[in-house]
């Protein structure tokens, strides 16, 4: 993809830029995605960051505060929101209304719209996570990874988790014939995935080996584990990254195979 | 052309094959000179599962003409233009547009052919100006978007969201987008469906304006009136097959097996008095009122025959055929022919 992006002519680059700009404008005009992916995590950050009890280190959580445990969860939540609310609904709507069909009669293929949507999702993710980290560290004493290694591991974990959730979003967009079906399907994924990122309750507090094992196999659990380890100065091992890579490969191959342009 | 022969052969009392061939040739020559056609389709066939959407359709479109593809809903018109514009792969047959293969040379084709298709839309929350600017960026040599917007009377809607546009405005925007790449051919599919009569007439004027800019137009429609008003030539498609190809006027004339005249006879007479005439194909008697169908110089023949028998004809009315009659006659005949295995 990146090599292809580099080989675009100036005219194609301009067309892609305008496509992305248009999708950004649309995202601002109907800010549901913005609210879910940026607003909700930020609100949760502010709430938990402001409660003294949640910012105190707890021995039950391995000596860190609930807040410090929760921020990686919120970052994963941003990525689920970006991949699964917005992207599939928008794309299946575009297909249902004939937006993709309209584009398929121009010199620019409708797959560009897919790429533009994905780009917008990534921009949203950067904004959402950037706000979490900026506000968390700036205003609420969030402990960031201790060293460059931790930063790097976090970055890789975020990128892979984003790729996995966007892959799942594209898979939903591939099979859903309408935005309504897309919403129903994403709801099916969304809540379990959010649960295994620790959104509702930290998984460490459940003390269930089964829950922990399931979490390890899911993209959100794996993403959280990698981030949590990096943020607390531990090594996440290779398992979370292998799990994420597996999800990326399966979901994007299935999406590419099943996607219909009309 | 071969298909119009097919029809003529079946035409018992209508025009001779020679007459029609001359007609067809004249029409082509007047519209294209000697230049090669811009679109050539030969024996196109497309199936969806077990349904045959298009079967053995062949025609050529010449530069500068408005070519109509006319037929009922579901006749195979849209499938035909989808094949022309490279959106679908034909199961059989050949298509060449400017000598390009619509599937293989899709990219180049789309630079030169502007398309407005049914069931296609823009994002709800995109503004008219943004959409035009975006689509302009897709093409090598785009037209001036602002000028096109003004030409199509959309300047007041420039800042409106797509979803807030009226049906007529959406159609005009789709014409703007079909023309934004300065195409040599514009394919316009069911452009006026769902518009009120006034907006439809406005759209017709616009299409004539587009042709005046030198753009060849392929117009898909199920409105006879539209085809009659706009098209230089019309391909009539029914159940996936092309049943006729000619100028709309010629089709109308040739298709009705006869002209019809109504008259009131001053005295009763046996039908054979008129049905024996070579010009007459059918006679209906309702008391003094008589309806005679036939061809050629029907009025003179009928009135003279009655006069010779000492009968006076009053209130003579001549019913002229239009494309709608042609359409009904041709498509009915095809259906009939198919069931009897006559057409092949």
- Confirm if A259 and A170 have CB atoms less than 8 A apart: yes
Higher pLDDT, A117 or A7: A117
Q: Domains in chain B and their CATH numbers?
A: 2-254 (3.40.50.300), 257-320 (3.30.70.100)
The percentage of chain B sitting over the pLDDT mark of 90, rounded to a whole number, equals: 41
Q: Give the pLDDT confidence score for residue A4 in this predicted structure.
A: 53
Strand partners, B234: B68, B246
Q: Give the pLDDT confidence score for residue B320 in this predicted structure.
A: 67
List the single residue in A25, A94, A105 with the smallest CB-CB distance to B117. A105
- Confirm if A118 and A19 have CB atoms less than 8 A apart: no
Q: Give the pLDDT confidence score for residue A60 in this predicted structure.
A: 75
The pLDDT-based confidence of B90 (bands split at 50, 70, 90) is very high
Q: How far is A177 from chain B (nearest CA, A)?
A: 15
- Confirm if B334 and B343 have CB atoms less than 8 A apart: yes
Q: Report d(CA A199, CA B170) in Å as an integer.
A: 45
What is the three-class DSSP state of B242?
A: strand
Question: Which of A42-51, A116-125, B278-287 is the least confident region?
Answer: B278-287
If you search the block for the tokens 């996936």, which residue do you land on? B240
Strand duo B289-294 + B280-286: pairing: antiparallel
Q: Report d(CA A236, CA A154) in Å as an integer.
A: 10
Q: Report d(CA A38, CA A75) in Å as an integer.
A: 10
- Confirm if A218 and A189 have CB atoms less than 8 A apart: no
Q: Is B234 left (phi over 0), alpha (psi -120 to 50) or beta?
A: beta
Q: Is the pLDDT of residue B17 over 60?
A: no
- Confirm if A13 and A119 have CB atoms less than 8 A apart: no
Chain A within 8 Å of B160 (Cβ-Cβ)?
no
Strand duo A57-58 + B241-246: pairing: unpaired
Instruction: Please give the structure tokens belonging to residue B109.
Output: 């084709």
Q: Is the pLDDT of residue B341 over 60?
A: no
Q: Virtual CA dihedral for A47, A53, A58, A64, nearest 10 degrees? A: 40
- Chain B residues with beta carbon closer than 8 angstroms to that of A13: none
- Number of structural domains found in chain A: 1
What is the three-class DSSP state of B310?
A: coil
How do residues B151-202 score in pLDDT, each as one tens digit?
Answer: 888 999 999 999 999 988 998 899 999 999 999 999 999 888 877 888 788 8
List the single residue in A15, A94, A105 with the smallest CB-CB distance to B123. A94
Q: Between chains, do B125 and A18 touch, taking CB under 8 Å as contact?
A: no
- Chain A residues with beta carbon closer than 8 angstroms to that of B111: 107
The pLDDT-based confidence of B334 (bands split at 50, 70, 90) is very low
Question: Which of A129-133, A208-212, B241-245, B314-318 is the least confident region?
Answer: B314-318
List the single residue in A15, A26, A108 with the smallest CB-CB distance to B125. A26
Q: Virtual CA dihedral for B34, B228, B293, B19, nearest 10 degrees? A: 0
Q: Report d(CA A140, CA A133) in Å as an integer.
A: 10
Give, for B293, the enclosing helix (H) or strand (E). Answer: strand B289-294
Domain residue limits at A109: 2-258
Q: Give the pLDDT confidence score for residue A228 in this predicted structure.
A: 93
The total number of residues written for chain A in this structure: 262
For chain B, what is the total number of helices (H) and then of strands (E)?
A: 13, 13
- Confirm if B80 and B95 have CB atoms less than 8 A apart: no
The pLDDT-based confidence of B23 (bands split at 50, 70, 90) is very low
The pLDDT-based confidence of A6 (bands split at 50, 70, 90) is low
Q: Is the pLDDT of residue A163 over 50?
A: yes
- Number of other residues whose CB lies within 10 A of the CB of residue A114: 19
Q: Report d(CA B106, CA B164) in Å as an integer.
A: 32
Phi, psi of A239 (to 5 degrees): -50, -50
Q: Is the pLDDT of residue A205 over 60?
A: yes
Q: Give the pLDDT confidence score for residue B344 in this predicted structure.
A: 28
How do residues A77-111 score in pLDDT, each as one tens digit?
Answer: 999 999 998 899 999 999 999 999 999 999 999 99
Q: What is the ipTM of this complex?
A: 0.88
List A residues 102-121 in contact with B (Cβ-Cβ < 8 A): 102, 104-108
List the single residue in A14, A101, A102 with the smallest CB-CB distance to B137. A14
Q: Give the pLDDT confidence score for residue B332 in this predicted structure.
A: 61
CA atoms B96, B101, B105, B107: torsion sign: positive
Please classify residue A201 by burial: count the beta carbons closer than 10 Å to its beta carbon, then call 0-12 exposed, 13-18 middle and 19+ buried. exposed
Q: Write the DSSP assignment of B48-76 as a string of letters.
A: ETTEEEEEEEEEEE-TT-EEEEE--TTSS
Q: Give the pLDDT confidence score for residue A105 in this predicted structure.
A: 93
- Best of A106, A109, A110, A262 to substitute, by most chain B Cβ atoms within 10 angstroms, is A106
- Number of other residues whose CB lies within 10 A of the CB of residue A85: 22
Q: Is the pLDDT of residue A50 over 60?
A: yes
Average pLDDT over residues B302-309: 88
Q: Give the pLDDT confidence score for residue B36 in this predicted structure.
A: 85
Half-sphere exposure in the Cβ direction for A25 (13 Å, CA): 15
Q: Report d(CA B162, CA A26) in Å as an integer.
A: 12
How do residues B122-136 score in pLDDT, each as one tens digit?
Answer: 999 999 999 999 999
Higher pLDDT, A128 or A5: A128
Q: Distances from the Cα of A160 to the Cαs of A91, A224, A249, in angstroms? A: 22, 11, 11
Q: Is the pLDDT of residue B6 over 50?
A: no
Closest to A215 measured CA to CA, from A234, A232, A239, A238: A239
The pLDDT-based confidence of B7 (bands split at 50, 70, 90) is very low
Contacts of A145 (CB under 8 A, 6+ apart): A151, A153, A154, A230, A231, A233
């Amino acid at each position: 993809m990146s090599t292809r992006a580099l080989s675009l002519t100036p005219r194609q680059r301009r067309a892609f830029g305008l496509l992305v700009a248009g999708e950004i404008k649309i995202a601002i005009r109907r800010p549901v995605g913005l609210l879910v992916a940026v607003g909700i995590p930020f609100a949760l950050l502010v709430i938990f960051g402001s409660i003294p009890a949640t910012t105190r280190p707890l021995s039950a959580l391995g000596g860190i505060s609930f807040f410090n445990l929760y921020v990686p969860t919120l970052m994963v939540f941003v990525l689920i929101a970006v991949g699964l609310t917005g992207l599939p609904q928008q794309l299946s709507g575009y297909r249902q209304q004939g937006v993709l069909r309209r584009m398929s009669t121009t010199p620019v293929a409708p797959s560009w719209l897919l790429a533009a949507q994905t780009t917008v999702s990534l921009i949203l993710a950067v904004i959402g996570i950037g706000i979490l980290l900026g506000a968390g560290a700036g205003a609420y004493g969030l402990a960031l990874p201790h060293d460059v290694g931790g930063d790097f591991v976090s970055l890789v974990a975020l990128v892979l988790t984003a790729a996995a959730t966007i892959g799942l979003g594209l898979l939903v967009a591939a099979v859903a014939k309408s935005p309504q079906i897309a919403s129903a399907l994403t709801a099916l994924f969304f809540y379990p995935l959010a649960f295994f990122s620790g959104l509702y309750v930290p998984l460490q507090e459940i003390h269930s080996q089964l829950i922990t094992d399931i979490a390890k196999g899911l993209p959100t659990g794996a993403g959280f584990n990698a981030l949590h380890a990096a943020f607390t100065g531990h090594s996440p091992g290779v398992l979370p990254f292998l799990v994420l890579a597996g999800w990326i490969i399966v979901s994007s191959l299935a999406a590419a195979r099943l996607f219909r342009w009309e | 052309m071969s298909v119009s022969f097919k029809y003529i052969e079946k035409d018992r009392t209508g025009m001779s094959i020679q007459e029609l061939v001359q007609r067809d040739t004249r029409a082509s020559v007047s519209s294209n000179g000697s230049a090669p056609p811009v679109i050539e389709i030969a024996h196109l066939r497309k199936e969806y599962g077990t349904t045959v959407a298009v079967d053995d359709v062949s025609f050529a479109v010449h530069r500068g003409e408005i070519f109509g593809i006319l037929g009922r809903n579901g006749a195979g018109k849209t499938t035909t233009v989808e094949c022309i514009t490279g959106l679908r792969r034909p199961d059989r047959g050949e298509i060449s547009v400017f000598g390009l293969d619509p599937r293989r040379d899709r990219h180049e084709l789309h630079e030169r052919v502007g398309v407005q298709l049914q069931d296609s839309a823009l994002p709800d929350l995109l503004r008219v100006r943004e959409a035009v600017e975006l689509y302009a960026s897709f093409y090598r040599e785009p037209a001036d978007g602002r000028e096109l917007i003004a030409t199509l009377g959309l300047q007041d809607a420039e800042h409106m969201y797509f979803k807030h546009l009226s049906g007529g405005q959406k159609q005009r925007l789709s014409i703007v987008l079909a023309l934004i790449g300065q195409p040599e051919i514009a394919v316009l599919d069911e452009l006026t469906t769902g518009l009120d009569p006034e907006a439809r007439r406005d759209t017709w004027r616009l299409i004539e304006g587009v042709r005046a800019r030198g753009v060849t137009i392929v117009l898909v429609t199920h409105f006879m009136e539209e085809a009659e008003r706009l098209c230089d030539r019309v391909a009539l498609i029914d159940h996936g097959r092309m049943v006729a190809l000619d100028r709309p006027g010629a089709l109308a004339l040739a298709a009705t097996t006869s002209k019809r005249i109504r008259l009131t006879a001053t005295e009763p007479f046996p039908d054979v008095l008129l049905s024996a005439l070579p010009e007459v194909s059918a006679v209906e008697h309702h008391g003094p009122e008589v309806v005679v169908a036939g061809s050629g110089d029907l009025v003179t023949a009928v009135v003279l025959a009655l006069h010779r028998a000492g009968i006076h004809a009053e209130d003579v009315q001549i019913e002229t055929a239009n494309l709608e009659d042609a359409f009904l006659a041709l498509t009915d005949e095809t259906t009939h022919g198919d069931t009897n295995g006559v057409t092949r």
